[in-house]
Amino acid sequence: MNEMITIWSQWLKPSAGLPTVQWSILLALAAAAGHLVQRYLGLPKVLGYSVVGAFAGLAGFTGAVWPLEGIGLYLVELGVAVVLFEAGGRIPLRWFRHNPMVLVQSLLESFGTLALVFWVLRVLGVPVNVAEPLALVAMAASPAILMRVVMDTRASGPMTERSMVLSTLSTLYALILVSAQAGLMNRAHQGVIDSVSSILVVLGLSLLVGAILALALRSALRVMSPNSENTSILLLALIAVGTALAAHFGGSAPLAALLGGIFLKQLHPRPWAWPRQLGTASSLLTMLMFVLVSVVAAQADWSKSVGTLVLALVAARLIAKFVGVALGNAGTGASWKQALWVGCAMSPMSSIALLLVVQLAAAPMAQGPAIAGIALPAILLMEVLGSVIATVAIHRAGESSKPWAPVLLGSTLGDGHES
């Protein structure tokens, strides 16, 4: 790919620069691949985005390199913030008063994942200062992938809603703990007080930014229609501002967006129409986010020893998610079969995990490359495999209103048109 770029640069001089041409072509290929994957395999479009990005990364695409920084990092943060804001808006806090066991289930699966992944990595000889951050990253599921799968399968039902809530809560825990851990890596001496104060600082600043975002949008909704395109543009612009400012002041941009969505849901409990109004702009941002994540993740150093650790991390994470959801299922109102499919739906890892690794790898400590060397292949694997597992889970749970009938298996997908 570097040789092709050299040849192109001798005669192709676009006004916006060669990287713009490269990214435009890459996104066009990703869009086509996403359609073909859904049309002929019945799998979510995100799988096509990820595969195209992975091939580009393995081929040496230089449009996004590790460590991720600058405009590329901001675009991932913005895409994650938009997704988490919507995910936060799906969580009515009143629900937990009527069904508190869902919180217990969330804590069991999240911190069970943390404990089991840490133990497995330590058994395999991974140092504590590498195993602990990796276990924190493994806590987070991927609401971003799950939302795309739900959209592509037109899914709705108790299993789908439970999966979204648990995925969002696991992300909330991971964002708080990783942000605090990254801050502690900059200190020579760490103690309980340092750990607690670091968590409180990150949480407090993120709460402040999220509250300001929610209040601003609530004020806008008093005079603007939720169905208006201008309201959607205002929302996206405010999330972009919050994303830029939260991390600058020491908070977490994705966490602030997630909390902002939760706050706005309490202030404005009526259903929202803004995701539909964002339309193509939101879809393009989401596709760009998935492609960029897979491009960066594919650039990791692949070796047999790393592969063993990656497979062990992924296996331990899957087992912990299943066991945690099952142990906390009693009293939640869900059947054991539904709990099984919820555990499957929580398997993906993607952009949120990448942002957590960026935070950890940016700390001025020697373990940064070791953390990234294991985490990036795991993220790529579970972005691809996790989307397939989540799709199968939704279909097996019977909550998809779109029949799974891939063309390659001798039938048509739905009505023959892309959703």
Q: Which residues of 56-87 are buried (b: 16+ CB within 10 A; e: fewer)?
A: bbeeebebbebebeeebbbbbbbbbbbbbbbb
Sorting pLDDT into bands at 50, 70 and 90, what band is 203? confident
User: Taking the CB of residue 222, how many other CB atoms lie within 10 A of it?
Assistant: 7
Residues 6+ apart with CB under 8 A from 276: none
Burial class (CB in 10 A: 0-12, 13-18, 19+), 96: middle
- Would you give the end-to-end CA distance of the chain in angstroms? 34
Residues 6+ apart with CB under 8 A from 105: 166, 324, 325, 327, 328, 329, 332
Interatomic CA distance for residues 352 and 360, integer angstroms: 13
Closest to 283 (Cα-Cα) out of 35, 104, 103:
35
- Sign of the CA dihedral with 54 first, then 59, 63, and 65 last: positive
User: Taking the CB of residue 172, how many other CB atoms lie within 10 A of it?
Assistant: 24
What the block records as the tokens of 26 is 């890459």
Domains of the chain: 68-401 (1.20.1530.20)
Interatomic CA distance for residues 380 and 47, integer angstroms: 11
What the block records as the tokens of 188 is 């020579």
Cα separation values, 202 from 138, 198, 214, Å: 20, 6, 18
| pLDDT of 329 above 80 | yes
Confidence (pLDDT) at 417: 40
Confidence (pLDDT) at 311: 94
Interatomic CA distance for residues 263 and 284, integer angstroms: 26
Sorting pLDDT into bands at 50, 70 and 90, what band is 240? confident
Confidence (pLDDT) at 326: 87
pLDDT digits (tens, 9 = 90+) for 134-145: 999 999 999 989
Q: What percent of the chain has pLDDT over 90?
A: 23
Cα separation values, 91 from 1, 175, 253, Å: 45, 17, 19
Closest to 68 (Cα-Cα) out of 80, 59, 55:
80
pLDDT digits (tens, 9 = 90+) for 32-85: 999 999 888 888 899 999 999 999 888 877 777 777 777 888 888 888 888 888
| pLDDT of 92 above 60 | yes
Closest to 316 (Cα-Cα) out of 175, 85, 122, 178:
122
- Sign of the CA dihedral with 267 first, then 268, 272, and 275 last: negative
Q: Please give the residue that has the higher pLDDT: either 411 or 331.
A: 331
pLDDT digits (tens, 9 = 90+) for 178-202: 887 776 665 555 566 666 777 787 8
pLDDT digits (tens, 9 = 90+) for 372-413: 889 999 999 999 999 999 999 998 888 887 777 665 555 544
Across 323-327, average pLDDT: 89
Confidence (pLDDT) at 414: 42
Confidence (pLDDT) at 320: 93
Q: How many helices (H) and strands (E) does the chain have?
A: 17, 0
- Where do runs of H (alpha helix) occur along 60-157? 70-88, 93-98, 101-123, 128-139, 143-153
Q: What percent of the chain has pLDDT over 70?
A: 84
The residue to which tokens 């799906």 are assigned: 90
Confidence (pLDDT) at 419: 39
Query: For the ranges 204-208, 267-271, 304-308, 400-404, which has the lowest average pLDDT?
Result: 267-271
CB 362 within 8 A of CB 154: no
Q: Give the length of the chain.
A: 419
Cα separation values, 137 from 55, 236, 276, 304, Å: 24, 27, 31, 22
- Where do runs of H (alpha helix) occur along 224-335? 229-248, 253-267, 274-297, 304-327
Across 205-214, average pLDDT: 89
CB 229 within 8 A of CB 277: yes
CB 121 within 8 A of CB 309: yes
CB 348 within 8 A of CB 383: yes
Confidence (pLDDT) at 409: 53
| pLDDT of 234 above 70 | yes
